Homo-oligomer: A and B are copies of this chain.
Amino acid sequence: MSLPISGDVGAQEIDITNETSSQHHSEAPYIHKVGIPPKQNLLQEITATVKETLFADDLFRQFKDQPRSRKFIIGIQSVFPILEWGRHYNLTKFRGDLIAGLTVASLCIPQGIAYAKVANLDPQYGLYSSSVPPLIYAFMGSSRDMAIGPVAVVSLLLGALLGEEIDPDIHPLDYRRLAFTATFFAGITEVVLGFFRLGFLIDFLSHAAVVGFMAGAAITISLQQFKGLLGITKFTKKTDIVSVMRSVWSTVNHGWNWQTIVIAVTFLAFLLLAKYIGKKNRKLFWVPAIAPLISIILSTFLVYITRADKHDVAIVGKVKKGVNPSSVNEIFFTGTYLAKGFEIGVVAGLVALAEAIAIGRTFATKNNYQLDGNKEMIAQGTMNVVGSMTSCFITTGSFSRSAVNCMTGCQTTVSNMVMSCVVLLTLELITPLFKYTPNAILASIVISATVGLIDIEAILLFWKIDKFDFATCTGACLGVVFVSVEIGLLIAVSISFAKILLQVTRPRTSILGKLPRTTNYGDILQYPEAKKVPGVLIVRVDSAIYFSNSNYIRERIWRWLGDEEEYLKENHQPRIQYLILEMSPVTNIDTSGIQALEELHKSLQKGNIQLVLANPGPVVIHKLHASKFTDLIGEDKIFVTVSDAIVTYKIGEA
């Protein structure tokens, strides 16, 4: 708080001149009137609200004043961004995309097989899902860094939701069909959200909720890998930690397979080491990127030559050869599973979308380009709809693979095309070689991939900055770990909403005082040096005044007044004559709020205290006028600033 002397003096002078001019020199200091914005009619009001809600990105601006043919081209380009950036595509860019695509493919193939297992599907479906959707995305996607394919969290969610309806071991065909149905509706959900520009709904899945949900899912998925790691044959279908640990312990004496454990632990150590190396030395980022593929090749070779599968080491078994078969006929378009598929699809689609948008935004900010949320949703949705018809389950952007994509120097979505081609070639040529791949290696790959989903730093930051975010995050995480993925999601969304509602139910109110040597008034808790003005109580309400808080605010102001008057009485000081309500943070008011102000005004009148308003915003002043509240208290009781009110009433400045 120490200031240079010269500054001090200068400021003192301002203060003096100010005081002089407003107090003694001129009788009527200049007081600016509170402005009332021009009245909008209902249609304008609705149009403006709809525009800001649904078209916040000003979608139609680029179409304005263009000939019809140009409009058509812009329209097509906005759906297929490749038509725009494709014109400037060149060999240099392709080199970047090629290297990135090959690297991501090496990561994507083992992860795809592993995540298919997480979703309780056969390994080839993981590869199918890594081929068609990325190809579609390459034409429609607006994020150049995003690597598309199956991801851990969505696979877990899908598996858990599907498993509640159909047991994959007993009815594998129905299970798979329901998976495609859910994928279809997930895609439809995403397209609809994008097309009707309802992308903002995704924002309600807050960052804290997503972090918590991902951490919980990572723990749950890792726990489930005990099955593969320990070579347990009979394992629970439930995902909660209690069931899983009970399953693990109950098989401790019989059912653990030491050969499996040796393979799993060795390669897990290798993968984690590779991860560590990649983290320590940014230049070696390709080490963790190719480690999974190396693990798969090595372990498969090892099992093949030692015939470890004869010693009860579980292996992947026959993987179907050939590119994606059609699955249009497998989608349930009728019957009882239609509704179930729809439900699962909506939930899983929203989560997949939230992940995609989060990833898209992160990389867009990093590489300084804009991500069009709604366009992105249409791309994600289309790729899932097409995917559901070509034997794919729900896909989205993968954070870890997108990071590799970005670091290996991808330039456009062509890297997704490259990856897709590699996966298609794999499907056509070398899938039979995966027969001897041990399940344990897939478990190791999943664990080493999912531990990265637990974002400890973010969780610590939530704790430090916003306890509500921390609660959302831990609630989601514990819900997933201890109960189920749906409960985890529900907890996260509920706490997020409660946070918003609590703030408009019990907003802060504060007492303001004059900041020394300025004409500003600040919260006396924030500015302990601020001085209360004798005879005046200045209260600031930190929220819109709505039905949910109008009574509280009225009663709280009344309590501030009671406390202050008691204090003044005890100290034999002059009583309160003016209650100034600083309304800068009051962004809106509704009829209940106006009623509360009217009641406050009436009560104050009975105590011979004047109600004065400072700085009502455009919306508020409009409504105060419409309701004639301004007439009730008098237009002259409404000022632009607290200072104007104080100066006008010539109080407390002696």
Q: A4-B28, A552-B56 are in contact. Are A465 and B602 (CB under 8 A)?
A: no
Which of A8, A499, A522, A526 has its CB near the most chain B CB atoms (within 10 A)?
A: A526
Determine the chain B residues whose CB is within 8 A of the CB of A592 once the complex forms.
206-208, 469
In whole angstroms, how far apart are the Cα atoms of A398 and B209 in the complex? 45
Answer yes or no: A58 CB below 8 A from chain B CBs: yes
Q: A4-B28, A13-B25, A618-B523 are in contact. Are A56 and B555 (CB under 8 A)?
A: yes
Q: How far is the CB of A508 from chain B (nearest CB, A)?
A: 7
B464 and A627 contacting across the interface, CB-CB below 8 Å: yes
Answer yes or no: A259 CB below 8 A from chain B CBs: no
Q: Mark A1-35, 1 if CB is under 8 A from B, else 0.
A: 10110111111111101101110011111111101
Answer yes or no: A507 CB below 8 A from chain B CBs: yes
Point out the residue from B35, B548, B550 that lies within 8 Å of A527, measured CB to CB: B35
Answer yes or no: A466 CB below 8 A from chain B CBs: yes
Determine the chain B residues whose CB is within 8 A of the CB of A528 once the complex forms.
35
Q: Mark A214-250, 1 if CB is under 8 A from B, else 0.
A: 0000000000000000000000000000000000000
Binds B, one of A261-269, A284-292, A479-487, A581-589: A581-589
DSSP class of A's interface residues: helix, strand, loop or mixed?
helix
B461 and A591 contacting across the interface, CB-CB below 8 Å: yes
Point out the residue from B25, B35, B56, B552 that lies within 8 Å of A203, measured CB to CB: B552
Determine the chain B residues whose CB is within 8 A of the CB of A14 once the complex forms.
18, 21-22, 26, 29-30
When C-beta atoms are compared, the residue in chain B nearest to A3 turns out to be B30
Answer yes or no: A131 CB below 8 A from chain B CBs: no
Point out the residue from B20, B517, B548, B603 that lies within 8 Å of A500, measured CB to CB: B548
In whole angstroms, how far apart are the Cα atoms of A15 and B591 in the complex? 39
Answer yes or no: A44 CB below 8 A from chain B CBs: no
B591 and A621 contacting across the interface, CB-CB below 8 Å: no
B465 and A517 contacting across the interface, CB-CB below 8 Å: no
In whole angstroms, how far apart are the Cα atoms of A549 and B200 in the complex? 8
Answer yes or no: A515 CB below 8 A from chain B CBs: yes
Q: A37-B525, A208-B547, A506-B53 are in contact. Are A585 and B32 (CB under 8 A)?
A: no
Answer yes or no: A260 CB below 8 A from chain B CBs: no
- Copies of this chain, complex-wide, total 2
In whole angstroms, how far apart are the Cα atoms of A14 and B19 in the complex? 10
When C-beta atoms are compared, the residue in chain B nearest to A584 turns out to be B584
Q: How far is the CB of A619 from chain B (nearest CB, A)?
A: 7
Q: How far is the CB of A635 from chain B (nearest CB, A)?
A: 13
Q: Mark A267-294, 1 if CB is under 8 A from B, else 0.
A: 0000000000000000000000000000
Binds B, one of A174-182, A384-392, A538-546: A538-546
Q: Mark A119-155, 1 if CB is under 8 A from B, else 0.
A: 0000000000000000000000000000000000000
A203 and B549 contacting across the interface, CB-CB below 8 Å: yes
A17 and B15 contacting across the interface, CB-CB below 8 Å: no
When C-beta atoms are compared, the residue in chain B nearest to A550 turns out to be B203
Determine the chain B residues whose CB is within 8 A of the CB of A505 once the complex forms.
53, 200, 203-204
Q: How far is the CB of A531 from chain B (nearest CB, A)?
A: 13
When C-beta atoms are compared, the residue in chain B nearest to A553 turns out to be B56
CB contacts under 8 Å to B, within A562-604, are 584-592, 594-595, 599, 602-603
Q: A14-B21, A203-B549, A365-B603 are in contact. Are A526 and B621 (CB under 8 A)?
A: yes
Which of A20, A38, A587 has its CB near the most chain B CB atoms (within 10 A)?
A: A587
Q: A365-B603, A496-B547 are in contact. Are A587 and B465 (CB under 8 A)?
A: no
Determine the chain B residues whose CB is within 8 A of the CB of A22 once the complex forms.
14
CB contacts under 8 Å to B, within A303-362, are 361
Determine the chain B residues whose CB is within 8 A of the CB of A21 once the complex forms.
10, 13-14, 17
Determine the chain B residues whose CB is within 8 A of the CB of A13 once the complex forms.
21, 25-26
Answer yes or no: A617 CB below 8 A from chain B CBs: yes
Point out the residue from B10, B35, B543 that lies within 8 Å of A587, measured CB to CB: B543
Answer yes or no: A84 CB below 8 A from chain B CBs: no
Determine the chain B residues whose CB is within 8 A of the CB of A527 once the complex forms.
32, 35
Answer yes or no: A94 CB below 8 A from chain B CBs: no
In whole angstroms, how far apart are the Cα atoms of A501 and B22 in the complex? 44
Answer yes or no: A165 CB below 8 A from chain B CBs: no
A10 and B25 contacting across the interface, CB-CB below 8 Å: yes
Q: How far is the CB of A286 from chain B (nearest CB, A)?
A: 27
B6 and A28 contacting across the interface, CB-CB below 8 Å: yes
In whole angstroms, how far apart are the Cα atoms of A521 and B623 in the complex? 22
Answer yes or no: A502 CB below 8 A from chain B CBs: yes
Determine the chain B residues whose CB is within 8 A of the CB of A252 once the complex forms.
none
Which of A206, A465, A468, A502 has its CB near the most chain B CB atoms (within 10 A)?
A: A465
Q: Pick 7 A–B contacts, CB within 8 A, sort by A.
A: A4-B28, A32-B527, A37-B525, A203-B551, A461-B627, A503-B588, A522-B640
Mark A residues whose CB is within 8 Å of B: 1, 3-4, 6-15, 17-18, 20-22, 25-33, 35-38, 42, 45, 49, 52-53, 56-58, 200, 203-204, 206-209, 361, 365, 368, 373, 458, 461-462, 464-469, 496-497, 499-508, 510, 515-520, 522-523, 525-529, 542-544, 546-552, 555-556, 559, 584-592, 594-595, 599, 602-603, 606, 617-619, 621, 623, 626-627, 640-641
Besides the known contacts A18-B18, A500-B501, 4 further A-B residue pairs in the complex with CB atoms under 8 A apart: A32-B516, A49-B506, A56-B556, A207-B591
Closest 9 CB pairs of A and B: A11-B30, A10-B26, A206-B547, A7-B28, A542-B587, A526-B618, A584-B584, A35-B527, A35-B526
